[in-house]
């Protein structure tokens, strides 16, 4: 079954992103689908420069780590000041910290996040944030993969993009997100466009047949086979999974 997303009411989803490098996030969220989502008023993304919340002549946002060791740590005060100011205006459904230590972002987590209204994302930088910030404010830590980025900004952009496109109304044909790779624990089938014959290679006949049921069956078989070969872990999950399960948002709040 493909219909695992419950549609949320149609109104704006808001992301507040706290960072020391807002420039790193701006560009990916100002083009294509994300730009359209913002233009349609379905997605709002606010970038907050933590330096604006730092005090002192140098507006310092990082400092040496206690106990020694290479690398700087993000100071707690500017982060706390920014979060508390934002919390005076609204309640956040999730306060996310981007970090390689977090839970791995996958399609199911994106689906669940897309049902929230207000999400705050704190981008880790340098050696990370002072642990007390994690203990005090963070409700969810997310990693986008088992590798280390120079900072959490690109991870935040990935989260906003992968979640934002799931907000109803963002994609032209709303069902298209339902048929993305991973949406049913399966990879997407191969796709073709014109010309039907290219460099001696033809498009599979079934796709030219106009027979909807046969095309649907072919795509499903291709998805299954591609997943079995390329991602045996996902294939096992699909074979043994509960495909009628509705993703729950409850444990994110």
Q: State which of residues 148, 200, 212, 213 lies at the interface with ligand ADE (CB under 6 A).
A: 148
Rounded Cα–Cα distance for residues 101 and 235 (Å): 26
Which region, judged by CB under 6 A, interacts with ligand ADE, from 54-62, 68-76, 77-85, 149-157?
149-157
Joined together, the tokens standing for residue 222 give 């291709």
Q: Are 119 and 94 in contact (CB under 8 A)?
A: yes
Nearer to ligand ADE, 100 or 164 (CB): 100
Tell me which residues in 101-140 interact with ligand ADE (CB under 6 A): 124
Quick one: 24 or 177, whose CB is closer to ligand ADE?
A: 24
- What is the Cβ-side half-sphere exposure of residue 247, based on CA atoms within 13 angstroms? 25
20 lines the binding site for ligand ADE (CB under 6 A):
no
User: For residues 78 and 151, which CB has a smaller minimum distance to ligand ADE in the complex?
Assistant: 151
Min dist. Cβ of residue 127 to ligand ADE (A): 11
Report the residue from 49, 99, 183, 223 that binds ligand ADE according to the rule CB under 6 A: 99
- Nearest approach, Cβ of residue 171 and ligand ADE (Å): 25
Residue with the two structure tokens 């960072």: 19
Helix axis angle for 32-39 and 153-164, nearest 10°, is 60
DSSP 8-state symbol, 245: P
Q: Is 144 in the site for ligand ADE (CB under 6 A)?
A: yes
Please measure the distance between the N-terminal and C-terminal CA atoms of the chain and give it in whole angstroms. Answer: 26
Question: Interface with ligand ADE includes 149 (CB under 6 A)?
Answer: yes
Cβ proximity of 227 and 235 under 8 Å: yes
Residues 6+ apart with CB under 8 A from 51: 20, 59, 61, 78
Residues in contact with 193: Cβ distance below 8 Å, sequence separation at least 6, in sequence order: none
Give the shortest CB-105-to-ligand ADE separation in angstroms: 8
The residue from 58, 66, 147, 193 that contacts ligand ADE (CB under 6 A) is: 147
Identify the residue among 114, 143, 183, 222 touching ligand ADE (CB under 6 A).
Answer: 143
Radius of gyration of the chain (CA): 21
Residues that bind ligand ADE (rule: CB under 6 A) add up to a total of 12
Contact residues for ligand ADE, defined by CB under 6 A: 98-100, 124, 143-145, 147-149, 152, 155
């Amino acid at each position: 079954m493909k219909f695992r997303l419950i549609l949320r009411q149609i109104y704006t989803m808001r992301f507040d992103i706290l960072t020391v490098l807002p420039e790193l996030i701006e560009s990916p969220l100002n083009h294509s689908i994300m730009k359209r989502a913002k233009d349609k008023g379905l997605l709002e993304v606010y970038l907050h420069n933590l330096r604006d919340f730092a005090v002192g002549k140098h507006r310092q946002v990082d400092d040496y780590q206690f106990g020694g060791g290479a690398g700087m740590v993000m100071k707690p005060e500017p982060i706390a000041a920014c979060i508390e100011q934002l919390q005076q205006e609204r309640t956040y459904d999730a306060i996310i910290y981007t970090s390689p230590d977090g839970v791995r972002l996958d399609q199911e987590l994106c689906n669940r996040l897309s049902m929230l209204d207000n999400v705050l994302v704190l981008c880790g930088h340098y050696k990370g944030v002072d642990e007390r910030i994690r203990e005090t404010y963070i409700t969810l830590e997310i990693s986008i993969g088992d590798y280390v980025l120079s900072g959490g900004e690109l991870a935040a952009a990935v989260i906003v993009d992968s979640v934002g496109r799931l907000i109803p109304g963002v994609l032209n044909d709303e069902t298209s997100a339902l048929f993305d790779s991973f949406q049913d624990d399966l990879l997407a089938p191969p796709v073709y466009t014109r010309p039907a014959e290219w460099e001696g290679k033809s498009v599979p006949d079934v796709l030219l047949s106009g027979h909807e049921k046969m095309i649907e069956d072919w795509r499903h078989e291709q998805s299954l086979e591609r997943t079995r070969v390329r991602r045996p872990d996902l294939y096992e999950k699909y074979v043994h999974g509960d495909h009628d399960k509705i993703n729950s948002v409850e444990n994110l709040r």
